[in-house]
Structure 1
Amino acid sequence: MTRKTEKTLDQLPAGGKGFLNWIEKVGNKVPDPTIMFVYLIALIAVLSALLSWAG
């Protein structure tokens, strides 16, 4: 039986490391999904009130 080897971050080419590091940085800045839904609900409530007032 042969084992499949998994590539670690150290074995990736330089371009792959940079891309994965960028994804990690962006992912760390994204808020918790619960907070994102609360912001979305608040935005929809404000837009609904403004558009209702505007007619």
Structure 2
Amino acid sequence: MAVSMGWQDYTVWLIGAAVAVLIFRRVRCLFRGRGRGGCAACGSTGCPLRRKERK
């Protein structure tokens, strides 16, 4: 018995895959010790552009 998948099934799988990729990236950053908040230009947390004083 073959079951055909509708567009809703593909959409659910696509959203699930996107969430899995986001979770994988966050876990990878957690284990590498690198958090979010790096420089927008280079991604480094020690960038001099990031160290500007905030008013």
TM-score band, normalised by the shorter chain? 0.3 to 0.5
Rg larger in 1 or in 2? 1
TM-score (normalised: structure 1): 0.46
Q: TM-score, normalised by structure 2?
A: 0.46
Structure (1/2) with the larger helix percentage: 1
